[in-house]
């Protein structure tokens, strides 16, 4: 196996199973996103799950040709590295929704700004990881390590942003449930908060955040050790600490899809402001709530 760029023969059963499971996640995210008009979250998670499918298809193919420096290796390297960046973007959007559903008074900024700020930082992490992956996939041996360290920098940045977000999200949740209490919650979205799946939504978001954080920390350690490090050349670590963490992170918010949990929600700009349009899936008239963009 002297020419094996992986350092091991990719496990056929595990990688094929991952391909199928992420394919199912992709399908449900797409269907639920269209059904509930939850386009931003749905599209971000479809991209993530689709990237995972692409990566694991390539790893499955590589099982049959492990002793070549194949195109499949380069594709799976990039897609499995940057795919979860879009997963994070979908989770960042949930903080703005949380503030909208419970009340603007629980936040120092408008709900939309959370998405803008954290998604912008997410894009920076995406570009860093994508650029690093592109450099590392090049033919010049000297560029491989340069690309690796660019990728390390991108994922460290992602870990920092994700950690800050978890603290901010937790602080807002604390203010909603412990610092003030139900008497201060917004009345406009009371019906949405009473939906059957709604009580599972916040726990599902936290579970997704924790699994994504574990995966990101693993990636930092793995890449820091180098292409021949023990984590990089032992597939079981990758399958558990990357693939399984992403799957377990996506599963809760696929079962408890946000649009099903709190109802249909679309965001559009009008007259310099932001309008939230909520459809509660029953005969009650849709709620239209307007608030200024500060």
Q: How many CB atoms lie within 10 A of CB 144?
A: 15
Coil, helix or strand at residue 67: coil
Query: Can you list the alpha helix ranges (DSSP code H) found in 137-234?
Result: 141-174, 190-193, 198-224
Tokens of 87: 């997963």
* pLDDT tens-digit series, residues 258-272: 999 998 754 333 333
Q: Is it the case that residue 15 has pLDDT exceeding 50?
A: yes
More reliable by pLDDT, 115 or 52: 52
More reliable by pLDDT, 167 or 289: 167
Query: Quick one: which of 58, 60, 115 has its CA closest to 88?
Result: 115
User: Angle at Cα 60 formed by Cα 57 and Cα 61, nearest 5°?
Assistant: 90
pLDDT at residue number 143 = 74
Question: Roughly how many angstroms between the first and final C-alpha of the chain, as a whole number?
Answer: 60
pLDDT at residue number 126 = 85
| CB contact set of 236 (below 8 Å; sequence gap of 6+) | none
Average pLDDT over residues 96-121: 87
Q: Is it the case that residue 275 has pLDDT exceeding 50?
A: no
Tokens of 189: 């979205």
Q: Which domains does the chain have, with CATH numbers?
A: 12-264 (1.20.1070)
Q: Is it the case that residue 17 has pLDDT exceeding 80?
A: yes
Average confidence score pLDDT of the chain:
84
pLDDT at residue number 68 = 63
* pLDDT tens-digit series, residues 122-145: 889 888 888 887 777 666 666 777
Tokens of 86: 């879009």
Q: What is the dihedral of CA 96, 98, 100, 103, to 10 degrees?
A: -130
Q: Is it the case that residue 53 has pLDDT exceeding 70?
A: yes
């Amino acid at each position: 196996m002297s020419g094996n760029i992986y350092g091991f023969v990719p496990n056929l059963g595990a990688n094929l199973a991952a391909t199928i499971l992420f394919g199912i996640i992709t399908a449900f995210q797409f269907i639920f996103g269209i059904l509930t008009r939850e386009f931003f979250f749905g599209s971000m998670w479809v991209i993530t799950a689709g990237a995972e499918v692409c990566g694991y298809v390539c790893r499955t193919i590589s099982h049959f040709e492990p002793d070549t420096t194949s195109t499949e290796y380069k594709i799976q390297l990039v897609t499995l590295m940057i795919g979860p960046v879009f997963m994070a973007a979908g989770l960042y959007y949930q903080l703005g929704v949380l503030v909208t559903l419970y009340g603007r008074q629980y936040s120092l900024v408008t709900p939309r700004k959370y998405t803008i700020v954290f998604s912008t930082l997410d894009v920076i992490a995406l570009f860093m990881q994508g650029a690093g992956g592109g450099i590392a996939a090049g033919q010049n041996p000297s560029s491989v390590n340069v690309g690796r360290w660019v990728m390390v920098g991108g994922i460290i940045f992602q870990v920092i942003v994700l950690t800050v977000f978890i603290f901010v999200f937790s602080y807002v949740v604390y203010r909603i449930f412990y610092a003030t209490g139900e008497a201060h919650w917004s009345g406009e979205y009371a019906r949405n908060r009473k939906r059957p799946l709604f009580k599972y939504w916040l726990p599902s978001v936290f579970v997704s955040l924790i699994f994504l954080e574990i995966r990101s920390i693993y990636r930092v350690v793995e890449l820091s050790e180098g292409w021949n490090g023990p984590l990089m050349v032992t597939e079981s670590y990758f399958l558990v600490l990357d693939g399984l963490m992403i799957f377990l992170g996506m599963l809760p918010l696929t079962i408890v899809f946000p649009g099903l949990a709190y109802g249909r929600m679309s965001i559009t700009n009008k007259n310099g402001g932001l309008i939230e349009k909520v459809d509660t899936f029953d005969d009650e008239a849709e709620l239209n709530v307007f608030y200024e963009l500060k």
